[in-house]
Chain A
Amino acid sequence: MIPALFVFAYLAVVLYVGIFAFRRSARGQSAEDYFLASRSLGTAVFLFSLFGTNMTAFTILGSSGHAFSNGIVTFGLMASASALIIPLSLFLIGTRLWALGKRFGFMTPVQFFRDRWECGHIGTVIFAVQAALLVPYIIIGVMGGGSTLAAISGGWVPYWLGGALVALVVMGYVFFGGMRGTAWVNTLQTILFLSFGAASLTIIASGMGGFRQAAEEMLRSPATAPLLTRERISPWFFLSYTFIPLSTIAFPHINIFCLTARRVQQFKPTVILYPLCLLAIWLPSVFLGVMANRATAVPSIAAKLEARKVLTAQGSVLPPGERARLRQAAAGDDVIVLLLNHYAPVWLAGLLGAGIMAAVMASDSQILALSTMFTEDVFAFYGGKERFGPAAQVHTGRIFVLGLTAVAYLVALRAPASIFELAVQYAFSGYSSLFPLLVAALFWNGSTKWGALASTLWTVFAVVAVAVFQGAIPAPQFGQPTTVWTLFGAAVLSRTPGGTAVFGLMPVVPMVLISSLLMVAVSFVTRKPSRQTISRYFQQSDPSGRPKGFGLVVSSTN
């Protein structure tokens, strides 16, 4: 119960931060102030809050759980690929989005697309797809809050109450504080979970008597030795995973966050330090997840290992229901909480529990982003702002926050988590598939709204197709993929234990490539935006005024 008290104290602090941000905001708050903190975030808050916005429950709980089952490959798949792709996309795309937001007053990506491609309803289609891909993320955040609080309190706080508390606190500080409150809370959260990694590594290492012996013992056992290599994963799968971080800059809550910096110079430390922040959080989480395989002194972890052993030995002959139950029992999403509960003193477990809670509560910026998108892309675009005035826009945003959080909570109470966990998986591939829209809008003057529509509709089709495919064909045993379609002896489409493979690659690869191809092909055969619009975005290169082929209106230091 004592660790839960620390978590309650933490929840009270973040709620107060939101209310404090509300008191700091101007009277008669404008939409730009509520949704973008008046584009005024300073260097440290911008770095920490942007990073915190992108770190979710998965960062600590999911990554250690994935590493518990899959080994060190988790770090290469999810952290080090992101260490290159995310800062690079912030450097190339985030800075340009910031500049356009500042120049033309955009507050959402759809506003930019509508202006850049001279479209109205196609923008609404893009909004609807972005929103549909973001909602599961919010629901999973509420679910994570409920189950984490229940785990930290040892069941004293039931799931429904934990979820309600987390939903109320997040709703409170987003409702009152808007972007300013969310950014401050994210900063606090990032500092907490940056401290979390080093602290938990030290404590658990000391509890387990150091990691040298554990690593050697793992290498001696044929069951655990592969977890210290990547031999169970194909290099093609590993390569295709590098397409997943493309989703980050396409997520609305991230690209809206790019608009909040006071100056473009604030991207510099963010771009440079982002890989180091990733390292500081992911390395301890992944390593502890792997080492948990030797923490047999912790009874709940020993039970997980036993379930895995049965699954490996008899999985192929067990009925599907029993296989699913054993998979659930062997899942490692809570191993880090279990390690801390076992090895850390109670007060420290409480502090670290607050750190875990900080990661779990990352749904705040997604709620705010959806609210911003709804008020700007739908309410304001379809005349609400003109009819009811600018003040009504902020009120609408706040009401939307209340409604969305309440719905997310109700859904979290009734629906099984597995559905939304899957939906979040699809969301990453979906947003990666929307990445070509950003690139085309920013860097290719020949792109058109019809190209954008084709890419967006393809994304919807591909996400639904993968979901239907995985729903129709049950997950096979490890190492025995079910091949559904072969061509000249090569497996084209397979169902794997973790999802789907297309030519041995993750579906995200064909999704991104076909989305890019559609953007190019359809743009070539459809009407371009007016010359006036294009000249606002691209340099004029010759006396006839024809726009230069590649590049936004910028110049670089070289």
Chain B
Amino acid sequence: MRLILTSIVVAVYVLHQDVWFWRNARPLVFGFLPIGLFYHAAFCLLCSAVMMLLVKFAWPLDLDKPASALLPEDEGR
């Protein structure tokens, strides 16, 4: 799972570099929004979705436990 999630994050980072819309303003989405701006607005929605995946599948579990509960066994759990 860690590999899949890391790959997704890397893929999203690559998607930020949208050279394919670099020199195009058209189509104007909704008649006024240049495609490059619309793409990056949609990119923000994608980021939110990716964060949701990370929170659901890679949330660190032991962070809210006190230090004593996390020490190695011989140091007293």
Contact = CB atoms under 8 A, between A and B. Distances in A.
Contacts of A348: none
B32 A272 contact: no
Contacts, number: 157
Contacts of B26: 219
Nearest to A286: B37
B68 to A, nearest CB: 9
Q: Is the interface of B mostly helix, strand, loop or mixed?
A: helix
Contact of B25 (A83, A219, A540): A219
Nearest to B54: A91
A231 B37 CA distance: 13
Interface string B2-32: 1001000100110011110111111010011
A212 B62 contact: no
Q: Is the interface of A mostly helix, strand, loop or mixed?
A: helix
A539 B60 CA distance: 14
A210 B45 CA distance: 25
A98 to B, nearest CB: 7
B48 A272 contact: yes
A75 B48 contact: no
A264 B63 contact: yes
Contact of B61 (A229, A278, A554): A554
Contacts of A91: 51, 54-55
A449 interface: no
Nearest to B57: A558
Contacts of A216: 28
B32 A268 contact: no
B24 A75 contact: no
Interface string B44-77: 1101101110111111111110110011100100
A273 B48 contact: yes
Given A80-B47, A228-B34, A271-B54, 8 more contacts: A84-B9, A104-B67, A215-B33, A229-B36, A263-B64, A287-B33, A556-B59, A558-B58
List the 5 closest pairs (A to B, CB-CB), nearest first: A558-B1, A228-B25, A211-B32, A99-B63, A275-B47
